[in-house]
Amino acid sequence: MSWRDDGVRSCEANMIAFQCPHCFTDLKAKDELAGKKIKCRSCGEAVRVNANPPPSEEDVAFATPRGARLPRRRKGAAKLPRAAKASSAGNLALALALKWGPFVAAAAVLIAMFVVASSNKPFRDIAMFVALAIGGLNWLVAYFWGIGIAARYDSMASVGYLIPRVGMRYITAHREHMGGPFRLLLIGLVFFAMMAVFGWIDHKQAGY
């Protein structure tokens, strides 16, 4: 180690570090200037060199009392309790059931209707009427449901209850909120498609 390094270290050891109370600039002064005033190099104000600066309010507020021990962190403290996990799993299952349950139910009904109606002419005639009724009901409910959702964001959408053309404009304008009505619309479309399939079966069996 050179004599220059020793000189720098000894010089730094004899310096007092403090802060200007006016501009908050970090300053340093020699030990012999303790208690005296010097001029801040940044703002030019007179600053007293304080060898032991008083603690700030934040340091006092957040300081740990002497002899006090910090509580130990419990293992697995961030883990959710079993009741919370069960509740979240139940909510997820309910959300999935509400989202995909209508599709599953509609698919089961359509498969049963198709299996029976493909070989039973009287039942096929009834199934065509039922498919038409269910499809139309789904579309009607989807439309009024969509109007109700659009009315939450624009009160003028209520005109759509009387004028379908106006209602469709508001439903289209708020299409990002129409997840439920859109699913009902798809289910109704599937029932209409099944009605068309039953008509095609009648046409083939009649020999046209």
Residues 101 and 175 in one domain: yes
Residue-level pLDDT at 143: 92
pLDDT at residue 4 greater than cutoff 50: no
Residues 116 and 201 in one domain: yes
Quickly list H helices, the chain.
3-13, 57-62, 82-117, 121-153, 164-173, 179-206
129-184 residue pLDDT tens: 888 898 899 899 999 999 999 999 888 989 998 998 888 899 888 888 888 888 88
Residues 52 and 105 in one domain: no
The number of folded domains in the chain is: 2
Tell me whether residue 202 is in a domain.
yes
Q: Is 29 helix (H, G, I), strand (E, B) or coil?
A: strand
Tell me the one-letter amino acid at 65.
P
Residue scoring higher pLDDT (66 or 161): 161
Residue 189, domain extent: 96-206
Residues 44 and 132 in one domain: no
Residues 19 and 109 in one domain: no
Exposure class string for 115-152: b at 16+ Cβ within 10 A, else e: eebeeeeeebeebbebbeebbeebbebbbebbbebbbe
Residues 130 and 176 in one domain: yes
Residues 41 and 107 in one domain: no
Residues 101 and 37 in one domain: no
Check: pTM over 0.75? Answer yes or no. Answer: no
95-141 residue pLDDT tens: 777 777 877 887 787 788 778 777 788 888 888 888 889 889 989 99
Residues 192 and 123 in one domain: yes
Residues 127 and 172 in one domain: yes
